[in-house]
Amino acid sequence: MSGIIALPVSNLNMASLFWFIALIISLTVHELAHALTADRLGDPTPRSFGRLSLNPLRHLDPLGTIMLLIARFGWGRPVPIDPYNFRSPRRDELLVALSGPASNFLLAVLTSFFSSYSPILYILVVVNLSLAIFNLLPLPPLDGSKILLNLLPPEQSSSWATAFDQYGPFLLAALLFSNFINLIISPIIGFFLRLLLPS
């Protein structure tokens, strides 16, 4: 996410701090949205793991947090769910997967109204848009893979899930290290940034 946009902050250390804070906030909101949606749809698993919380420590992954510090890119701990607790497993798992990116889109829109008042709010818009769009890519372990699998017919979904589990994480890592993902999502992020931050 660090190469997506030039930030209007002259002090590099302050900019890095703002990015770190924005990423912590965004990841916390993202994972909490998954947990709350699953809980509302009848799965008590996130609640039993203490994930219905705004405390970032409940949602941060140790390695993912270290990556936030050194690369301005990281990840949170996936929210555990049990689809068998849902009334409609495929539909409800789809809604849980969508809730994370949707929460980041919503936070980006709300923050954009106040982004001119503070650099960190501006960065928060960028980070939330980036997190939402990145997570919609249909590659595991991203939310987009769960969305795609639950939209496919059951038989096709089952066969694709096997291939996703075997090759998806390696393909995602290759795309990240090659910077190819940036080429895919940067134009989309730029489009939404022009809508939300026209100045």
Per the annotation, the verdict on 31 as an active-site residue is yes
pLDDT at 82 over 60: yes
Which pLDDT band holds residue 169 (cuts at 50, 70, 90)?
confident
161, burial (CB in 10 Å: exposed 0-12, middle 13-18, buried 19+): middle
Of residues 73 and 192, more confidence is placed in 192
HEC-encoded secondary structure of 34-55: HHHHHHHCCCCHHHHCCCCCCC
- In percent, how much of the chain has pLDDT > 70? 90
pLDDT at 12 over 60: no
User: Average pLDDT, whole number, for the chain?
Assistant: 87
Q: What is the pLDDT of residues 113-163, one digit of tens each?
A: 999 888 899 999 999 999 999 999 998 889 999 999 999 998 898 888 888
Q: What is the pLDDT of residues 39-78, one digit of tens each?
A: 999 999 999 999 999 999 999 888 877 776 776 667 789 9
In the set 31, 39, 92, 93, the catalytic residue is 31
Of residues 130 and 169, more confidence is placed in 130
| Inter-residue contact 138 to 144 (CB < 8 Å) | yes
Which of 50, 150, 55, 164 minimizes the C-alpha distance to 95?
150
Which pLDDT band holds residue 7 (cuts at 50, 70, 90)?
very low
pTM above 0.85, yes or no: yes
